[in-house]
Structure 1
């Protein structure tokens, strides 16, 4: 286009876009600057922002060549540390993924931004993009571990996820639907490291009960909606089901089908022998089994609450089994109204349940919640205990009863309730309501260190991004002589924040204890390489003896 019309500002802008996203940042910048000149004052926000960030990269970044057709662009102050860990991590990830998919990608450049807004502009042209990494195929952009988001994400998890896209996009020549590549990348995260889970099981549970799982035909659209995060998780769960049932090889065949130009029906039918609707039905049944062990009241949508209400008769059936189902249905309606702030409607629905005699456990729990709203905590506790005694179980109820016991200084009862909560829903995603963390604090109060650290170990099984807890656990294990486990945790901490000399010193000490001297020497070297200004634990230069 620019050869045909060398005065076309739009053509030069699109050329700059394509060049910068395929690894030729210098060529891309030159084309965008030419576009600005030809535009003669006509502004374009994306072009303006992208020129600024590419110019900043030219001034601030160094580019280094790694193994395996990989190049890295990062700031000089971070280069020594990042080179030590990122280069082998990406090289090993490339080898692992290439072998699994039977496709080795060509040259790739990894751009690492120490300022989040620079990452956002480089990735989208605008600030405020809510992500940690982006893959254009031959280019991966990512947030550096020393950025403003420091200590709140795993750079290794992001890197593995994005490089998975490099393989998918290369294998399918960018023809696969987004839900396939995001679903496989999400599955790859957890397959590589179990703690790299997105832990949106509660959202999955809610979607199943509300009959709101995203259909396969609609799944791509979820990535352009307010359900984008759930789209990632559900796509990953769909891929998990397919891999569990059919093995991994068909997933590669699915990518190859899209590469051939097959549409959704042809690709799914040819690979799995079913229609998208049959795949939906299969996934519904799989999700039901997956969420069944999680004992917590769903968050009912207004639409599902209304639909349930009109599905139910006003009076219970005479047959006992049908009457129990009727009572469960009205319990769901009552809970839905209560959650939506319609307290009068909730109490009216509860009154209908009196027609079956003894209230089901979920209705007793709701009566407790209604009493708690009136600040009648004693009555609420009685209803909760009645619901449990009747065979009910609910994570939130256990947490509330644990809080009550702690307030009464009955720590034995509090422990019992928090342990029951953990059984009801291990790894609950909200940190402030985590049974594992509450148990850890309880054990700390009672000087039960081994149980405290065991509870923290169970918590990090579901949490990939917490540096501090991993360091405390690693130091605990090292002190007890369990250096193998300590090293595993030091590795995980380093995958969150490698710019802490305390981490590298402790890691080196455990490696020495294990006789892994070459690795220990690497850690001692990194201790010297971390710039003092990037170490939040110890900003002073190392003393001569430490060097």
Structure 2
């Protein structure tokens, strides 16, 4: 997977705009090739005219890193309640342990205060004292005279039996309760629920009860919260999820979580389970948030919130909320199951197993989340008997529960075990061919593996049985409403490429060439061939996301499933598609060689390294980010890099993870070579750990390699970022004060004093990037352009990845109309930064207009980012014409360009490129374009002369 690249923080980025914003689909007005520039004011500015802020001592990254969340909250000991009523409040407001302690002393051997006894049992359940809770409720049941109270006690006993996985015992309690209250709607619903959970919803008794429950809702009998909950169970048993959801929400309104009733929380948990079942984690989270707003330490809500976060692949948040739940109830089975899922995904298989064995199945042997972890561990270890044991335990009470298979496939997907997930689902489909959960998951699995026919057939089967599964709905709509009418496939040998139909002829040649180049290089490097290969490039982020995971808003631009790669295509200028594709194709080799068992840090870092080997400009310019992360002690060690990915709680920290992994694999690749990396991948396929494989293949243990990498990393980071670097925590440093003083006097207009202060700072151990760029800005403001250029060049030696110095010089060159100098700077910029669109577009226009040989390199970069941008299409048509290419395609490209170029608000870069292309190609529309293109003040004389012949 590749996440969206971090937006570069450039002080000087405006200096290279070419009449368009980052997204080339927008076309703001511009007066010349580079957009509109106003006159400088009296304030001191950087190279782009931005006022210097004396408080801006660092990049801004440092504050973001400092604020990145890491740990779970620490629960403070609540004040002990002093009265019965306070204890009843405490149990529902974050202090169940305090309530339990008080009520045990207050009630003693008395059992007549049933309200307090039930509150005590609730508190005991919340803190994990299930035996004590059962004893408390049993006392109520035995001592109560009122049938309704006795029935209520039995219902609570049933819930406690359910928590242990004793569904038979729970059902007996409900049946006993119904004898006491045969017309109780909630008890009818509870029995239906239990029969449904054991696969008996179609039995005559269940059918009769369901009919009675429906009737009670239809005739208005069911009005209270408990009655509405009972009728909702009928809808759930019937898979009438829309009506069940509606009734549950009615029940929630009757007993809102804010009231703190036990029933209200029960309703909230049922709603949460329903939303999660239908892949609607946002709605589930909103429901739980209402409980947690009242009681921020409700362990059941926190544990369930862990499942919500897992559904969103927010592993750090899932782990944090589960840890918080355990501060209240150290034996909460759901919280331990969440932590086991996280540990397994993070590669800590022993930790995952311990959570389940020690804290989950000893409480509830059929706990689905726990047994799924054991099943996944067995599959990872290729232990068929262990898998069968876990499966049978999960399905012990309901052999027809297809969610075991669908949820297991989700977990295996997190582990990159896509073929194994498919095998599990095929097994499930044979056992339960009509189960919508299995068929829905099987459909996604087949699509991920490239079998679209089987995938769509399975989705249709799922849809017929369950029209409320969000993933099934989304993917079906995607194919019928977007892919079928708006996308087309091109098959070239063993490569299938899906692209938007209307532009595939213009896109396919370039994308095919990039893919072929990557495959050829990686085939040779890894000694295997990924064949066939399917790549799909979508135009809309939600289309890509739904195709990839079934729901929108996936924060990535590419995902690899082995032989199938889905991505966000190069349509809006947001990323370099060639780099993304190389990155994702590299994943295919890692997945195949390791049989999906490669750690995420290794495969992500490897793909980053392979990308930068292919093109050094594709390397992440991450030195500044990592420098600040190191300074704030937010870097993970080599042995902890998996956590850097899976525990990242912000885009910035995810970028830190990618960057650190990229540097780690750069080190391993440069130090040990690709053959050793191939051997490591093959070793992962055997299930061995990184430490075992380092000893076996590198001849060193993980600790030794980690120490060597850290030494190399620090050295390289200090090489890339040298000199004095001010930061916000150094405000008492005399050098910081000198720099701030220089900025202040410069802002006041005293440029001579500012220059003197900065020169003294350089001489007083204050030489570095910030000092030099500030001095360059001051000199530029004074009119000393040559001196400014020298300072920018010196600044670049302190920050090897920074674009700012070259952008500053490019601005000066532009003001002086020195096109060769500007082209030199643009060439340096694109050699560092492969993702930004503006610099290569500016370079393309200037190189084309002057006949500079760098036109082709600039066009290659522009086409990798936004090949359909009108100026890019015009240049592509021109290059194709010079190569005596397909005239029909050239005409189609120019026709597409004219849609924009002939508009009154066309930007100058589009006008100029279109005019140059139509002139050389001989397209008569040059007569419409040339007169307007001549308004560009920066048009070179030779090109101006050439275009003038087309002007009136």
Q: TM over 0.5: same fold? A: yes
Q: Against the structure 1 CA distance between its residues 111 and 410, is the aligned structure 2 distance closer, same or farther, given a 3 Å change threshold? A: same
CA displacement, residues 76-122 of structure 1 (integer Å, 9 cap, x when unaligned): 21221222122232223212211101111122211121222211221
Q: Report the more deviating stretch, 98-107 or 44-53.
A: 44-53
For the pair 1:70 / 2:439, whether they are aligned, the reply is no
> What is aligned with 1:223?
645
> What is aligned with 1:522?
885
Native 8 Å contact 1:206 1:298 kept in 2: no
Q: State which of 812, 815, 839 in structure 2 corresponds to 1:445.
A: 815
Deviation at 1:296, TM superposition (A): 5.6
Q: Secondary structure at the match of 1:2?
A: helix
Q: Report the more deviating stretch, 105-114 or 376-385.
A: 376-385
> What is aligned with 2:857?
488
Q: Secondary structure at the match of 2:536?
A: strand
Native 8 Å contact 1:505 1:524 kept in 2: no
Deviation at 1:337, TM superposition (A): 2.6
Tell me the TM-score normalised to structure 1 length.
Answer: 0.79
CA distance in 2, matches of 1:382, 1:367: 14
Native 8 Å contact 1:370 1:380 kept in 2: no
Structure 1: gaps spanning 5 or more residues: 300-334, 339-345, 348-362
Native 8 Å contact 2:746 2:778 kept in 1: no
> What is aligned with 2:353?
none
Native 8 Å contact 1:156 1:495 kept in 2: yes
Task: State how many pairs are aligned.
Answer: 473
1:4-19 paired onto structure 2 within 5 Å = 4-19=431-446
1:7-406 paired onto structure 2 within 5 Å = 7-39=434-466, 41=467, 43-55=468-480, 56-67=482-493, 69-146=494-571, 150-224=572-646, 225=648, 226=650, 227-293=653-719, 294-295=721-722, 335-338=727-730, 346-347=731-732, 363-371=733-741, 383-406=757-780
Native 8 Å contact 1:533 1:539 kept in 2: no
CA displacement, residues 342-382 of structure 1 (integer Å, 9 cap, x when unaligned): xxxx43xxxxxxxxxxxxxxx34311245468778667765
1:429-468 paired onto structure 2 within 5 Å = 434-468=804-838
CA distance in 2, matches of 1:527, 1:218: 52
Deviation at 1:486, TM superposition (A): 2.8
CA distance in 1, matches of 2:663, 2:606: 9
Native 8 Å contact 1:504 1:527 kept in 2: no
Q: Report the more deviating stretch, 473-482 or 96-105.
A: 473-482
Native 8 Å contact 1:395 1:421 kept in 2: yes
Deviation at 1:253, TM superposition (A): 0.8
For the pair 1:546 / 2:916, whether they are aligned, the reply is no
Q: Secondary structure at the match of 1:292?
A: helix
CA distance in 2, matches of 1:160, 1:243: 17
Q: Secondary structure at the match of 1:134?
A: strand
CA distance in 2, matches of 1:447, 1:65: 48
Q: Secondary structure at the match of 1:141?
A: strand
Deviation at 1:530, TM superposition (A): 3.1
CA distance in 1, matches of 2:452, 2:707: 46
Q: Secondary structure at the match of 2:505?
A: helix
CA distance in 2, matches of 1:441, 1:119: 38
> What is aligned with 2:91?
none
> What is aligned with 2:793?
419
CA distance in 2, matches of 1:260, 1:160: 26
Q: Against the structure 1 CA distance between its residues 127 and 381, is the aligned structure 2 distance closer, same or farther, given a 3 Å change threshold? A: farther
Deviation at 1:15, TM superposition (A): 0.8
Rg: which structure is higher?
Answer: 2
Tell me the TM-score normalised to structure 2 length.
Answer: 0.47
Deviation at 1:422, TM superposition (A): 1.7
CA distance in 2, matches of 1:228, 1:25: 32
CA distance in 2, matches of 1:219, 1:78: 41
> What is aligned with 1:359?
none
